Chain A
Amino acid sequence: MVEFVDIALLVLLGITAFSIIRQKNLFAAVMMAGIYSLLSAALFVVMDAVDVAFTEAAVGAGISTILMLGTLALVGHSEHQPQHRPILPLFVVILTGAVLVYGTLDIPPFGDASNPVHHHVAPHYLEESEHEIGIPNVVTSVLASYRGYDTMGETTVIFAALVGVLLLLSLGPRPGRVASNGRATTTVRERDKAVSEEGMEEAQGDTLQVSDEENTLEDTNG
């Protein structure tokens, strides 16, 4: 039974991924990516990784989709037809795939308890963590205690990413000010002034754009 669910989910994942490539409307592609994340969360449940499943469902299907939709609201949602023929990328991809398939041929069989991956520290965690840490969920014990430095590094990465996003979005002109020739027209001085005036409104650029449109509507009406 588990095999059938596993195969069905993997086939659905393949179909979804393929239709993401074919899809020209980016809104549809983003929603497909959300479906893809949710399907992979279901696959993680089948594979006994329940903690990973709910993180993927919340973060992968939820937050990423919201971030992408927010981006699309600012940058537009139609993808142009690629001008060059995709023969070279297709060749590279098929070659890489063939090499990887060759690499799987001597991988230990799926689901075997005697695989090398199950023989290092994993038995220790499974046998001792209940006494050493006192939490029934082994994943939590490993995440927060045995490999606590990993989690600390992770928070450092998230902090760096947050700083990066804030710096990228809070400098420079507002999206509505892109000139018709494609270049931003504001000078550095104007830009600095704009930043000091607007500050963090940049992050909510989509609502900002809507209100701009409303303003212009009112202007034309008046």
Chain B
Amino acid sequence: MTALGLFNYWAVIFLMMVGFYTLIARGNLVKKIIGLNIFQTSVFILYITMGKIAGGTAPIFVKGGEDVSYSNPIPHVLILTAIVVGVATSAVGLSLVIRIKEAFGTIEEDEIQDESL
């Protein structure tokens, strides 16, 4: 597994930048939230990658397995919390989008700007 070197980290950075681009370049508010989710998941992958040990297994004790190496459980715990919090934040974001649609009749950023001038 060590042959992979930094490939995982670079893949994470690529995904992160795709999400970031969607977030800043797209005017549609739902698309922005999808971009935010892509960004978020790339951070999850970054953490889980750090916890992986080559040749290790999931951190659940095996009976009689004294010489088994387990992957690091701490990133897993942190990301479990982050996933649930992430869904909570996107739910708030999506309900804001619904309210914006009601108030302005559109969810496109440039039209909202024209509308509020």
Cross-interface CB contact of A52 among B27, B79, B90, cutoff 8 Å: B79
Give every chain A residue within 8 A of B76 (Cβ-Cβ): 49, 51-52, 139
Q: Note all chain A residues with C-beta closer than 8 A to B4.
A: 3, 6-7, 110-111
Interface pairs (13), CB distance under 8 Å: A20-B22, A48-B58, A48-B59, A52-B48, A75-B97, A76-B101, A111-B52, A117-B50, A126-B73, A161-B91, A172-B99, A172-B102, A178-B105
Given contacts A165-B91, A175-B102, contact A10 B11 (CB under 8 A): yes
Report the number of A-B residue pairs with Cβ-Cβ less than 8 Å: 303
Interface string of B46-58 (1 = CB under 8 A from A): 0011111110111
Instruction: Tell me whether B69 and A113 are in contact (CB under 8 A).
Output: yes
Given that A104-B6, A111-B2 are contacting pairs, would A92 and B24 also be in contact in the complex, using a CB cutoff of 8 Å?
Answer: yes
B28 touches A79 (CB 8 A): yes
In whole angstroms, what is the CA distance A143 to B57 when docked?
19
Are the C-beta atoms of A7 and B7 separated by less than 8 Å? yes
Shortest A209–chain B CB gap in Å is 12
Nearest residue, chain A, Cβ from B69: A113
Contact B25 A49, beta carbon cutoff 8 Å: no
**Residues A56 and B44 in contact, CB atoms below 8 Å apart:** yes
B117 at the interface (CB under 8 A from A): no
Chain A hits for B91, CB < 8 A: 67, 161, 165
Please determine whether B81 and A151 come into contact, CB atoms closer than 8 angstroms.
yes
B88 A157 Cβ-Cβ under 8 A? yes
* Proximity string of chain A (121-133) to chain B, C-beta cutoff 8 Å, 1 when within and 0 when not: 1100110001000
Which of B41, B107, B111 is the most central at the interface, judged by chain A CB atoms within 10 Å of its CB? B41
Q: Which residues of A contact B80 (CB under 8 A)?
A: 51-52, 55, 139, 143
- Determine whether the beta carbon of B71 is less than 8 Å from that of A64: no
**Is there a chain B Cβ closer than 8 Å to A154's Cβ?**
yes
In the complex, which of the residues A21, A37, A112, A125 contacts B73, with contact meaning CB atoms closer than 8 Å? A125
Taking CB as reference atom, which chain A residue is nearest B31? A79
Contact of A40 among B20, B45, B60 (CB under 8 A): B45
The contact string, 1 if C-beta is below 8 Å from chain B, for chain A 64-97, is: 1001101110111001101110100110111011
Tell me if B's interface is mostly helix, strand, loop or mixed: helix
Q: How many residues of B contact A (CB 8 A)?
A: 89
Q: Is chain A's binding surface mostly helix, strand, loop or mixed?
A: helix
Q: Flag whether A188 is at the interface (Cβ < 8 A).
A: no
Contact residues in B for A139 (Cβ distance below 8 Å): 59-60, 73, 76-77, 80
Nearest residue, chain A, Cβ from B16: A100
- Shortest distance from the beta carbon of B27 to any chain A beta carbon, whole Å: 5
**Is the pair B2, A112 in contact by a Cβ cutoff of 8 Å?**
yes
Bound Cα distance from A55 to B41, whole angstroms: 12
Indicate which residue in A2, A17, A49, A175 contacts B1 across the interface (CB closer than 8 Å): A2
Residues of the B chain whose Cβ atoms lie less than 8 Å from the Cβ of A184: 102-103
